[in-house]
């Protein structure tokens, strides 16, 4: 990723930091091995546009999952993995994410956390417990406290 005049982000940030501390342009240019005019351009761009001059651009929007894709995900999660030709008996988030991304019939690209949330909201089995589900607690019969003789 580059920014003003092709400098890398860390070089641009270094120019801005050095400039705000009062370092002369010639010293900054030597520090980042750039031409003085380039350093001035970066400083001017920062003064005009602020942090947008760094070229970070913000995060990309997370693509929405269509209702059809959600149904396919849930159906796949509820289906035994062996029935879909997989060599294991239970889905994990990692295995299900990989299967969905590499499925030849229908490909769904989804991250593990998004998959966990989707499964949790629909009550589908996943490696993480859905919110509101209590953990399985084994029932034990209490031992007698008296010693038998």
Q: What is the DSSP letter of 90?
A: S
pLDDT interval class at 12 (50, 70, 90): confident
Compute the distance between CA of residue 115 and CA of residue 94 in angstroms, rounded to an integer.
9
**H runs (alpha helix) in the chain:** 9-20, 25-32, 36-49, 67-78, 93-102, 112-122
pLDDT, tens only, 71-123: 999 999 999 988 888 998 889 999 999 999 998 888 998 888 889 888 888 76
Among the listed residues 145, 146, 120, 149, the one whose alpha carbon sits nearest the alpha carbon of residue 133: 120
Please tell me the pTM assigned to this model. Answer: 0.44
Burial bucket for residue 11 (CB in 10 Å: 0-12, 13-18, 19+): buried
Average pLDDT over residues 26-32: 91
Compute the distance between CA of residue 118 and CA of residue 139 in angstroms, rounded to an integer.
31
First to last CA, the chain: 80
Comparing 32 with 147, the larger pLDDT belongs to: 32
Compute the distance between CA of residue 125 and CA of residue 112 in angstroms, rounded to an integer.
14
Compute the distance between CA of residue 77 and CA of residue 28 in angstroms, rounded to an integer.
56
Average pLDDT over residues 59-63: 58
Please give the pLDDT value at position 111. 87
Residue 142: pLDDT over 50: yes
Residue 8: pLDDT over 80: no
Please give the pLDDT value at position 50. 83
Torsion sign (Cα): 45, 49, 50, 55: negative
């Amino acid at each position: 990723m580059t920014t003003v005049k092709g400098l890398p982000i860390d070089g641009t940030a270094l120019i801005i930091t050095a400039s705000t501390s009062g370092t002369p342009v010639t010293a900054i240019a030597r520090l980042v091995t750039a031409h003085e005019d380039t350093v001035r351009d970066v400083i001017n761009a920062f003064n005009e546009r602020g942090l947008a001059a760094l070229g970070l651009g913000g995060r990309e929007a997370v693509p929405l999952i269509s209702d059809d894709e959600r149904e396919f995900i849930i159906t796949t999660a509820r289906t035994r993995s062996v029935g879909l030709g997989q060599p294991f008996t239970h889905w994990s988030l990692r295995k299900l994410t990989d299967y969905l991304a590499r499925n030849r019939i229908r490909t769904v690209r989804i991250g593990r956390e998004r998959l966990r949330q989707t499964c949790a909201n629909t009550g589908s089995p996943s490696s993480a417990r859905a919110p509101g589900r209590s953990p399985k607690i084994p029932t034990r019969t209490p031992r007698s406290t008296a010693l038998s003789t």
